[in-house]
Amino acid sequence: MNQLEQLKAFTTVVADTGNFLQLAQFTPRDATTNPSLILKAVQSPDYAPLLQETVARLKGRPLDEIVDAVLVRFGLEILKVVPGRVSTEVDARLSFDSKASVARARRLMGMYEAQGIGRDRVLIKVASTWEGIQAARELERDGIHCNLTLLFSFCQAVACGEAGVQLISPFVGRIYDWYKKSAGAAWDEQAHAGANDPGVKSVASIFNYYKKFGIATEVMGASFRNIGQIQALAGCDLLTISPELLAQLQAAEAPLTRALDAEAALQSEHVHLHLDEAAFRFALNQDAMATEKLAEGIRLFAADAVKLDHMIESL
């Protein structure tokens, strides 16, 4: 078996793309999207008619409603290919507004339900700010399941677990990027590979904490830079992987072994934590990497949301 097939024995494989025409060759169970991936997709000639048709159908409606309809349209196409769930993201510009995030999430889910898609097949992506986590807490109570994204720190994971969210997406590659850039010329790539990669270590720690204390929230490693990071997280609940790295795994034949194990996690040295808002904000503030990458991630997704707005307005 190739490494993609081997990985599927340990971990649920998710495709990280808005390009639904690529999906079938990798047979992932789920798929995730974000504003940047959708923006990239709609710029392709393959998807231009889909964008134009959706915009034309909703001409005269508020811009944010048209944008959500485009996101859901991509989600509907993805769900024709994958047997599981699609993740669709709330506008990143609402990352610090719980009430608005809840309203937008409900509208997205309503659009899916109007097309006959049940809530079990959709995850609403929300940034892992304090406000986003509280929005997810409310949505989960209403049976709308959430994927908490832009997650870089242990405190974010603890708060998500306490909020009872369905799934979190810790960003392996962006954590790695920060530490590599911070180290500069002193960075030793070999010494920070595999299980020693700072992004891998972050996800492994969260996975072990959740499993030790019976926290049901699913852990889905995301944002990979190389297949070594993926191999080092074999056994994680889910991994969301770009088509480029899925293809590399498909081409690799070397044996792949389980790296994370729920039984072994029971022996980890974690202690159970509770974080109220003040404790959460202070812990996040003390983590320079997480503070910087969370802010940067929101800015980047917000910028791409603005570009998508402009593209739609120009049609």
User: Rounded to whole angstroms, how far apart are CA atoms 174 and 229?
Assistant: 12
Tokens of 137: 């807490």
Using DSSP, state whether 61 is helix, strand or coil.
coil
Indicate the burial class of 57 (C-beta count within 10 angstroms; 0-12, 13-18, 19 or more).
exposed
The whole-angstrom separation of Cα 63 and Cα 303 is 16
Q: Which of 8, 80, 125, 201 is catalytic?
A: 125
CA 213, CA 199: separation in Å to the nearest integer? Answer: 22
Give the 3-state secondary structure of residue 282.
helix
Residue type, 271: V
Active site residue 80: no
DSSP state of 272: -
Helix runs in the chain, H state only:
3-7, 35-42, 48-57, 63-79, 98-114, 130-141, 154-163, 172-183, 198-212, 227-231, 243-251, 262-265, 277-286, 288-313
* Residue type at 26 in one-letter notation: F
Residues tagged active-site = 125
